[in-house]
């Protein structure tokens, strides 16, 4: 059985390999929408036991028999058809039947009747990937978490973690690997272990000395290196990462050897919930609309800015980034009459720190709310920053709901 999964391209290249007298002849045939493929953006390919090649595209399902494409289109009043779905993944279920992961839930293709059925759970979720195991179960990865479907009794176990926290952990570790790796490889993955899931990010970079390893998760700790000018940063990324992992009930550690590379591991508990063929109840989050707001983010660290950008992505707020305090002051100086502006001000930045930048902004326009964003976490810090005349304060790591509520608080008064 031949199967290619998670294959993304703008065209489809089908090829045959012929072995003759120990010489390989490779023949390529270019097939696209001109030959009847519904769309040239092919997301995944499988081949079932009958030899048909099935193609999942951005607008539905195609079958190729070696001569022509058959496009499966929605049929009115037929609940056993498949619609114009965005297909992310496919995997063989049994011989000619297979699962289909789409942006509208999970479908099963039944070869005997040439029809489709839809699993009764996850109907409204985007299914990103599918993985069968050796215990008659299928794992589904979604935007809301991980699910395990048992084919024997049709039960469903859901495994949830905060997607924003998890994404920041992976982003921090991958950015760290990229920063310290000039050549070789960067790898990441996971392993299911009973009621735990272990993730790893591994690289072939400069490595960490034994003396540095024991301090690597301390706030503001930076590994000194002869080429330290290449490795700029505040030294808080791994400390934030450790805090996030522990907030999700997990733990993190590192294994490293200088000049050979580093591997970060973190383990999270799989908090099971048996949904038994029911649609999981997802708490509806409050929707925020800041379309009339300009949020000036004074932040020199790319990871921290990316997190804020992701949190505010669906609020319609206009984001402006200043990489240091001086640039933040210059933006306000050049836009003195700006309306509906809120400033998120990192404290520790190059050229001009956040406290000095806030004071200058207040002299230009005292009505603009300036919120201190800092990694300092002592209980007395809030009163200290308010004493500096910041309007408010938020500590790192930044949590989505806390930041949104804070901006909403000032959105209603600016």
Q: What pLDDT, in 10s, does the model give residues 353-397? A: 999 999 999 999 999 999 998 865 444 566 777 778 899 988 876
Candidate from 102-116, 142-156, 221-235, 240-254 with smallest mean pLDDT: 221-235
> For residue 137, what is the enclosing H or E element?
strand 137-142
Tokens representing 19 are 């072995």
Give the Cα separation of 183 and 285 in Å (integer): 43
* Percent composition of the chain: helix, strand, coil (DSSP 3-state, to 5): 20, 35, 45
The rounded Cα 285 to chain-centroid distance in angstroms is 19
Mean pLDDT of 54-61: 84
Class of the CATH-defined domain 163-273? alpha beta
Candidate from 19-33, 230-244, 278-292 with smallest mean pLDDT: 19-33
Candidate from 145-149, 159-163, 275-279, 327-331 with smallest mean pLDDT: 275-279
Tokens representing 291 are 């379309």
Whether the per-residue pLDDT at 14 is higher than 70: the answer is no
**Confidence bin at 22 (pLDDT 50/70/90):** very low
Q: Where are the domains of the chain?
A: 3-157, 163-273, 294-411
Radius of gyration of the chain (CA): 26
Bridge partners of residue 31, in order along the sequence: 12
Question: pLDDT at position 336, please?
Answer: 84
Measured CA distances, 37 to 18, 50, 91 (Å): 26, 20, 20
Q: Quote the mean pLDDT of the chain.
A: 77
Q: Which residue blocks in 312-364 are alpha helix, DSSP H?
A: 325-334, 354-364
Question: pLDDT at position 283, please?
Answer: 42
Question: pLDDT at position 15, please?
Answer: 42
Question: pLDDT at position 76, please?
Answer: 62
Question: pLDDT at position 7, please?
Answer: 36
Whether the per-residue pLDDT at 91 is higher than 70: the answer is yes
Question: pLDDT at position 346, please?
Answer: 92
Question: pLDDT at position 248, please?
Answer: 78
Class of the CATH-defined domain 294-411? alpha beta
Whether the per-residue pLDDT at 41 is higher than 90: the answer is no
Around Cβ 324, how many Cβ atoms within 10 Å? 19
**Confidence bin at 342 (pLDDT 50/70/90):** very high
Candidate from 130-144, 239-253, 257-271, 347-361 with smallest mean pLDDT: 130-144
Provide the residue count of the chain: 414
**Confidence bin at 77 (pLDDT 50/70/90):** low
Closest CA to 96 of 128, 129, 52, 132: 52
Give the Cα separation of 293 and 300 in Å (integer): 22
More confident residue, 387 or 6: 387
More confident residue, 292 or 230: 292
- Using a cut of 0.75, tell me whether the model's pTM lies above it: no
Beta pairing class for 294-298 and 341-346: parallel
- DSSP string covering 81-92, please? S--S--EEEEEE
Give the Cα separation of 255 and 251 in Å (integer): 14
Mean pLDDT of 139-147: 78
> For residue 311, what is the enclosing H or E element?
helix 302-311
Q: Please provide residue 388's backbone torsions phi and psi, each rounded to the nearest 5 degrees.
A: -70, -5
Q: Please provide residue 179's backbone torsions phi and psi, each rounded to the nearest 5 degrees.
A: -60, -40
For residue range 222-254, list pLDDT tens digits in order.
Answer: 555 444 434 444 446 788 888 888 887 788 898
Around Cβ 136, how many Cβ atoms within 10 Å? 11
Contact 97, 74 (CB under 8 A): no
The fold for domain 3-157 equals Methylamine Dehydrogenase; Chain H (2.130.10)
Question: pLDDT at position 414, please?
Answer: 65
Q: In this structure, what is the dihedral angle of CA atoms 360, 364, 366, 368, given to the nearest 10 degrees? A: -90
The rounded Cα 14 to chain-centroid distance in angstroms is 31
Mean pLDDT of 184-203: 82
More confident residue, 111 or 222: 111
Question: pLDDT at position 161, please?
Answer: 62
Give the Cα separation of 41 and 384 in Å (integer): 55
**Confidence bin at 30 (pLDDT 50/70/90):** low
Tokens representing 295 are 């949020």
Measured CA distances, 130 to 97, 124, 157, 271, 300 (Å): 14, 16, 15, 20, 38
């Amino acid at each position: 059985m031949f199967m290619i999964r998670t294959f993304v391209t703008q065209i489809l290249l089908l090829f045959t390999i012929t072995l003759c007298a120990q010489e390989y002849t490779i023949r390529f045939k270019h097939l696209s929408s001109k030959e009847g493929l519904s769309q040239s953006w092919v997301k995944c390919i499988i081949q079932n036991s009958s030899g048909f090649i099935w193609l999942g595209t951005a607008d539905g399902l195609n079958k190729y028999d070696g001569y022509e494409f058959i496009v499966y289109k929605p049929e009115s009043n037929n609940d056993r058809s498949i619609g114009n779905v965005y297909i992310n993944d496919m995997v063989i279920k049994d011989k000619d039947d297979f699962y289909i992961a789409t942006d509208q839930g999970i479908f099963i293709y039944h070869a005997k009747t040439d029809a489709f059925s839809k699993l009764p759970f996850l109907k409204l979720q985007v299914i990103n990937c599918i993985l069968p195991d050796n215990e008659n179960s299928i794992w589904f990865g979604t935007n809301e978490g991980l699910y395990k479907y048992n084919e024997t009794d049709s039960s469903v176990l859901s495994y949830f973690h905060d997607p924003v926290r998890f994404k920041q952990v992976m982003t921090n570790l991958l950015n760290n690997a990229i920063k310290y790796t000039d050549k070789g490889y960067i790898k990441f993955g996971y392993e299911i272990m009973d009621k735990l899931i272990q993730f790893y990010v591994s690289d072939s970079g400069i490595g960490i000395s034994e003396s540095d390893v024991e301090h690597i998760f301390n706030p503001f700790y930076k590994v000194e290196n002869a080429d330290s000018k290449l490795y700029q940063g505040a030294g808080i990324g791994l400390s934030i990462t450790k805090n996030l992992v522990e907030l999700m009930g997990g733990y993190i550690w590192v294994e490293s050897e200088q000049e050979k590379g580093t591997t970060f591991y973190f383990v999270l508990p799989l908090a099971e919930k048996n949904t038994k063929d029911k649609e999981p109840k997802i708490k509806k989050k409050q929707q925020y609309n800041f379309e009339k707001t300009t949020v000036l983010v004074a932040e020199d660290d790319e990871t921290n800015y990316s997190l804020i950008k992701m949190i505010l992505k669906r609020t319609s707020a206009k984001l402006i980034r200043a990489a240091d305090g001086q640039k933040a002051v210059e933006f306000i100086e050049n836009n003195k009459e700006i309306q509906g502006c809120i400033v998120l001000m990192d404290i520790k930045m190059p050229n001009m720190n956040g406290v000095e930048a806030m004071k200058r902004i207040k002299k230009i326009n005292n009505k603009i709310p300036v919120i201190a964003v800092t990694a300092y976490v002592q209980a007395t810090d809030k009163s200290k920053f308010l004493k500096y005349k910041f309007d408010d304060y938020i500590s790192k790591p930044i949590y989505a709901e806390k930041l949104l509520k804070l901006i909403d608080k000032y959105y209603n008064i600016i």
